[in-house]
Chain A
Amino acid sequence: MTIESEIGKGAKRVQITASEKIIADISTGIYRTPAAALKELIANAYDADATEVRIDTDVPRFSQLVVKDDGSGISLERFLEVLQRIGGSRKRLDSATGLTPIYQRKFIGRIGIGLLAVAQLGQRFYVSSTVAGEKTRFLAEVDLRPFHKDEAALRRLGGGGDGDEVIDIGSVRYVEGLPETSASHYTVITVPDPKAGLISEMLSQMRDFVGSKPHFTLKNRARNFRKIVEIVQSSKRADIVLDSYHYLAWELGLLCPVKYLDGGPFEQGSRRVEGADAITLEEPKLFKVLFDGLDIRRPILFPNPRAVGYTGPDPIVYPIEWEHTVAKRSVEITGYIYVQQPHVDAHELNGVQLRVRGVGVGPYDKTLMGYPYDEGIKFGQVSGEIYVKEGLESALNIDRSSFRETDSHYLAIRAHLWNLLQTQVFPAQKSRQNVVKLRRDAQRVEADESELASALSGAPAPIGARPIIAPTKKRAAESEPLGGRKRGAGRAPKSKKMAREGEDELSAETSGYQSIVTVVEGQAQVDREELESAVKKFNLNKDGKTRLMRVAVALAAYDVWDSMAPDEAKGLFFALAAAVRT
């Protein structure tokens, strides 16, 4: 960058330039959403040991945008110096410990990038700051229009240069020595004329045109951030239930280093979250962001209402805690993987988000860092945060919304995540699901049988509701013919003792009664061979087979089988099999 001061009438003016390479690196990432741009300013405030950042959007007019922090402030000299090195933060280099002087925070922001980000919110903006102990402040008017003009964009993206070319990206005019109290320390950024596109978006004009009906609107503004989170929590997509304004607030929570909601991200209420107590959450200390008075928090609240009433396994949290030395550099991560059925709401929270020093780097990655197996619906059941405590910095692209995916730290973290997913999370999902399925099936059978027994309680020959599959035809023929109230000769014995005594008296040939469904000691038996034959013939599934047996039992309870000859009974049995097949 070159600075040419022009001192004369009016404010001093300097040109801002940056190398083509830096500009090309920045490309479009930081402009993706207004929240991504604001994130940069909030990160700068965090680095300046601020305890509070206030954002005022002049809602619902949006005629100006103000971001004010109570951090240490920046001197004019430093401010101008930063403009010389847009994209190349010196914060860490300036600090012997790599930590902020007051709260010992690890640096996260890059001042120059933050300024470029603001340029996307408005054509021109003002920066004013004062440092504690100084009795003055400066006021600078920053105009970075050339930076985002189409022509400049073409130049920067089309390359053509050797990367060392210097591009004029704007100018700054400033006045210094404005009076301030010595105890004051702050930085204020004012965007007096937000871009028409931004205002239109904040007003949700296009959403209105298409008849979108979000839960919160500018006329019905949320006054409590938790309310926003709760609405999103029971919705498939945050951007459907929130208008653009509220979505911005919600997204800020995802991207900025802010606290979780009071009570944390896992509510141990109507549904247990297994392992939730075992994880350590990373939250900033003494730092808050107020967006038009809304206390912004990380908008994560599980389990979703949909999961609370779902009959799957309980939601579970897997802790992440791992450190290693990779390429002689230390990498340390903590965090968690949360799994719930049937799926994670909202869609935007599905996947995994990497947070470097508390700042969310881009949105949630639904591919789980490119996990190379198709796990089907299980992918939609995962939501995780990985707090990168050490390392990965070199992998951060300058837009700070994505990573260089060949970086050794990035690859190491990815390997750890994949390993966790492959060895614990997904296998456990299967086994936990099977356990639940077996339990659920058993419960269903029990309930069905109970209902059948109840329905048959008034039948002429009440019999057990659960049919027993008799081992052999021969054995069945020795049993009591159906009904228990057989009229005429050859009546089968009614007790075990009697049945045993009757073994000598009766045989299959002489019984004269069908042997498909018989009753022994008040319990219906279905002949295995005939049953399997019907199942095979009519291709019945498990449920169909159960239905067939139950219908047969119901008929037995009403003596239907009693008078049937074997052929008739077999015909009826097969007819029933055909009828219950779905």
Chain B
Amino acid sequence: MTTKKDLGEFLDVLDKEDAQEREIEAHGGSFFETAPDDETIVARAREFDDLHKHWVRRELWLKTVKRIRKAKGAGLRLLTLPGQHLFEIKLYAKEELLERLNDDGEERLAVIGFETDPTVFGLLATAGPRLLEVLRGDVLAALTEPKSSNGKVIRTHAPYDVINLDLTTNIATRNDGPYSPFLQGVRECFHIQGAQTGSWALMVTFRAGMMETEPTVIRKLEEFFQKNLDEHLKVREACLDRYQVETAKEVLAKHPEEGLGQITGKWVIEQGHAFEWECTFFRHAAYERAYTTATGQQRYSLRKLVFEFSRRLTGRRQLVLGTIPAQSWHGEDLTRLFAATALLDVDEAVAKIKPEYKRRIEDEIEAMR
């Protein structure tokens, strides 16, 4: 029997149509309203299938994921931005690294994928292999808005074994002001990973454009870095060893894009510490991009950071203190930033690869399209 309340609820649902219309009236949710100019849309779409990117997939991401898979002893659960041709997912799936779920007779890979481009989303939603979830929208918005529909889905499937935020944005654009959705999103990853008991990997990609990045955010990160250098002798020594300077300001002045990557990496590791995660592996790969616009040739640097975290709980004796003091291993963790093997120049690596290996990578890209 329908009650008056039922009917009221039903009519409330229908009322949402008006709100939908008003939102669209205000261009809410339009791909083109949030997208950059045509050239940038096209340029970004071209970034998925180049050699540099695939080199990072094979040499950095795949190897990391294999380690996590080995440690777990079971298929992995992945949160990522798959892209049109699912290169990353196909690479992992080929190596049997991903968990396979049987959804009442239909097999799905344990992958939660985000996509903003409506076409690519459509292709992913209807493509094989089937993913556990394909969500249209911004992954950072889903991470930072737990009550949004995508935010709920992302949390339903957490924790993940691998989170790959393969973004092409800056860590904080000038429009963002001091509040960076990027940094908020990364921090939220540690929240949703609360139930993770094993090792997991976090991969983040961003554009390191000093001129495009919000200065207050850079200044703040720089301050945090300087504080580390002051607090941890080991970090200061490692920094000096690597850059032959002792202050954060000097690092950024001397190596602006790499420095921006490093202070962001440092910030991520420290977020992990706050959630009792030890960083057991760190890599910082980078390559440059060039594109042509009406105003001439433009370039920017893409930074690709990879972290592996394992739980490291605070001692019981320290927990009774009002605030948890810095742990000795925190400093050791941070020195990973400056290890000789931590930084990877992808441009250089790709330039040196042997022709047959290059051909193999190119063939692999073609085969996976």
Contacts and interface: CB of A to CB of B under 8 A. Distances in A.
Interface of A: 9-12, 54-56, 58, 61, 63-64, 66-68, 123-124, 126, 128, 137, 139, 141, 143, 145, 173, 175-179, 181, 183-184, 186, 188-190, 192-193, 195-197, 199-200, 205-206, 209-211, 221, 223, 293
A178 B45 contact: yes
A196 B24 contact: no
B342 interface: no
Contacts of B16: 196
A399 to B, nearest CB: 23
Interface string B88-124: 0000000000000000111000000000011101110
A128 B119 contact: yes
B2 interface: yes
Contacts of A176: 38
Nearest to B9: A209
Given A10-B38, A200-B13, A209 B2 contact: yes
A177 to B, nearest CB: 5
A66 B125 contact: yes
Interface stretch (B25-33, B54-62, B206-214): B25-33
Given A56-B126, A183-B369, A209-B7, 10 more contacts: A124-B24, A139-B117, A139-B118, A141-B32, A175-B35, A175-B42, A190-B136, A192-B29, A196-B20, A200-B13
Contacts of B49: 179
Interface in B304-345: none
A54 B130 CA distance: 12
Contacts of A206: 10
A354 B136 CA distance: 39
Nearest to A198: B17
B6 interface: yes
Find the residue from B6, B29, B31, B106 having the highest chain A CB count within 10 A. Answer: B31
A209 B49 CA distance: 50
B10 A68 contact: no
B363 interface: no
Contacts of B29: 124, 192-193
Contacts of A58: 125
A66 B24 contact: no
A63 B1 contact: no
Nearest to A13: B32
Given A124-B30, A139-B117, A197-B17, A10 B35 contact: yes
Given A10-B38, A66-B125, A209-B6, A195 B118 contact: no
B122 A141 contact: no
A128 B35 CA distance: 16
Contact of A190 (B17, B35, B121): B121
Find the residue from B21, B24, B32, B122 having the highest chain A CB count within 10 A. Answer: B122
Contacts of B20: 123, 193, 195-196
B37 interface: yes
16 contacts: A10-B32, A10-B38, A11-B32, A54-B126, A64-B121, A66-B126, A124-B30, A128-B118, A128-B122, A175-B32, A175-B38, A177-B38, A178-B41, A190-B118, A190-B136, A293-B130
Interface of B: 1-2, 6-7, 9-10, 13-17, 20-21, 24-25, 29-32, 35, 37-38, 41-42, 45-46, 49, 104-106, 117-119, 121-123, 125-126, 130, 136, 149, 153, 369
B136 A63 contact: yes
Chain B binding surface SS class: helix
A16 B130 CA distance: 36
A148 to B, nearest CB: 10
Find the residue from B1, B30, B149 having the highest chain A CB count within 10 A. Answer: B30
A188 B121 CA distance: 9
Given A123-B24, A205-B10, A223 B104 contact: yes
B136 A64 contact: yes
B14 to A, nearest CB: 6
A68 B126 contact: yes
B10 A200 contact: yes
Given A10-B37, A145-B24, A196-B16, A188 B123 contact: yes
Given A124-B24, A193-B24, A210-B2, A11 B35 contact: yes
A179 B126 contact: no
Given A200-B13, A209-B6, A186 B32 contact: no
Contacts of B2: 209-211
A383 B30 CA distance: 47
Given A190-B121, A192-B29, A197 B14 contact: yes
4 tightest A-B CB contacts, nearest first: A128-B119, A126-B118, A188-B122, A54-B126
A178 B37 CA distance: 13
Nearest to B43: A179
B104 A196 contact: no
Nearest to B104: A223
B167 to A, nearest CB: 19
